[in-house]
């Protein structure tokens, strides 16, 4: 399919006409657009397609296989576009690209960044053109609501898998990265900050694809105001040197980020479980809600806490790095209430004896 036709056609998806073309949607977010652009690119007719149904096959996940799941979820490489989840996957790609900049040197804010969007597409795949139109719409809406802009976009038809590549540009970004999260003291804190308020789900995740099952909804990443608040706070902490290490949480979920960054650590995810009301630890660990892991010194904990509270940002202290060679230990159990009460009583009794 010609690039001109893919970008400048009106789409009929599932029998419903969507009047704006992908080019019209994306042009609204361009940093600079020629006043003759639309005149030079007239509409190229209609494209009719059907959106794909979500996969029905489900997998029963078992906690005892979490190590195997971790190996599957940490596989690198370029990800194929999830055609059954075009809007969710597009927002996730944009969020990840922006999060990867948060660790860069230089002085910049989210509003200083612009994005390059390159769709490499196989228009012959079932549902591919419907997915492209929905992806373009989701990208334009999300970028606009993030108060960001598109520097350029492109569509290239070919064969093989469909993909969306997202790049980020900014005049004050230094390509050097400041932080290595796996270096520091065992008193340091490991903190998880999700950059969206959606629940953790496994649809469209690396783990689901590796297991050949997408029988779950995907994270509905669509809270740009939350993302902007989180980005502002974490970016300031990075620039001020409070964050001594950092890693993006996205592909492979929280578990992939932990495995990549902490070969030795004691981590407890019970706080996340309680906050989200989520009993399935597999969803929490492998659901791909964009976010960050940060490492801070113990002496800076109260300051970080105050900054998070000031902006009303939810964050989750997961634990501390442990001694070299001890390995990564993950638990999802909080201390029983009765134990907490007994501890308090014992502390009071001890203080009374002094």
What are the tens digits of pLDDT across the range 245-302?
999 999 999 999 999 888 889 999 999 999 999 999 999 999 999 999 999 999 999 9
pLDDT at 197: 97
Name residues of the chain where pLDDT drops below 70.
33-41, 56-58, 76-77, 171-184, 214-215, 334-354
CA separation for the pair 351, 272 (Å, rounded): 32
β-sheet bridge partners, residue 48: 12
Taking Cα atoms as reference points, which of 173, 154, 167, 37 lies closest to residue 114?
167
pLDDT at 342: 44
Render the burial of 93-106: b for 16+ CB within 10 Å, e for the rest.
Answer: bbbbbbbebbbbee
Instruction: Specify the length of the chain in residues.
Output: 354
pLDDT at 353: 46
Cα angle 260, 261, 262 (rounded to 5 degrees) comes to 110
Report field, pTM of the whole predicted structure over 0.85: yes
Q: Which two tokens stand for residue 94?
A: 């944009």
Q: Which two tokens stand for residue 14?
A: 């599932």
pLDDT at 341: 43
Q: Which two tokens stand for residue 296?
A: 């801070």
Cα diameter, the chain: 86
Alpha helices by DSSP H, 3-120: 3-8, 22-27, 37-40, 66-73, 86-100
β-sheet bridge partners, residue 13: 16, 49
Taking Cα atoms as reference points, which of 319, 89, 93 lies closest to residue 219?
89
Taking Cα atoms as reference points, which of 84, 81, 114, 86 lies closest to residue 22?
86
Residue 246 near residue 295 (C-beta atoms within 8 A) = yes
pLDDT at 346: 46
CB count in 10 Å sphere of residue 205: 27
pLDDT at 286: 96
Decide: residue 226, CB within 10 A, 0-12 exposed, 13-18 middle, 19+ buried. Answer: middle
């Amino acid at each position: 399919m010609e690039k001109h036709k893919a970008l400048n056609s009106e789409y009929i998806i599932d029998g419903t006409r969507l009047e704006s073309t992908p080019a019209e949607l994306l042009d609204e977010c361009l940093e600079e657009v020629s006043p003759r652009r639309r005149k030079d690119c007239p509409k190229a007719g209609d494209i009719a397609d059907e959106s794909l149904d979500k996969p029905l096959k489900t997998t029963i996940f078992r906690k005892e296989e979490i190590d195997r799941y971790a190996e599957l979820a940490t596989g690198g490489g370029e990800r194929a576009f999830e055609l059954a989840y075009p809007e969710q996957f597009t927002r996730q790609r944009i969020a990840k690209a922006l999060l990867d900049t948060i660790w860069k040197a230089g002085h910049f804010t989210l509003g200083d960044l612009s994005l390059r969007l390159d769709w490499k597409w196989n228009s012959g795949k079932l549902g591919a053109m419907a997915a492209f139109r929905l992806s373009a719409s989701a990208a334009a809406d999300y970028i606009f609501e993030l108060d960001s802009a598109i520097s350029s976009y492109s569509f290239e038809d070919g064969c093989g898998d469909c993909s969306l590549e997202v790049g980020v540009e900014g005049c004050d970004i230094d390509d050097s990265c400041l932080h290595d999260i796996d270096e520091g003291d065992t008193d340091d804190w490991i903190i998880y900050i999700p950059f969206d308020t959606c629940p953790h789900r496994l649809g469209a995740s690396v783990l689901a694809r590796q297991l050949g099952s997408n029988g779950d909804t995907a994270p509905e990443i669509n809270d740009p105001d939350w993302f902007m608040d989180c980005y502002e706070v974490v970016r300031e902490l990075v620039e001020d040197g409070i964050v001594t290490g950092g890693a993006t949480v996205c592909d492979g979920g929280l578990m992939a980020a932990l495995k990549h960054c902490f070969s030795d650590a004691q981590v407890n995810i019970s706080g996340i479980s309680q906050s989200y009301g989520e009993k399935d630890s597999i969803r929490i660990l492998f659901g791909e809600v964009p976010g960050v892991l940060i490492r801070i010194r113990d002496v800076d904990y109260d300051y970080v806490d105050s900054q998070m509270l000031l902006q009303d940002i939810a964050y989750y202290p997961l634990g501390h790095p442990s001694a070299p060679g001890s390995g990564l230990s993950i638990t999802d159990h909080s201390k029983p209430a009765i134990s907490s009460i007994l501890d308090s009583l014992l502390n009071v009794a001890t203080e009374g004896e002094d």
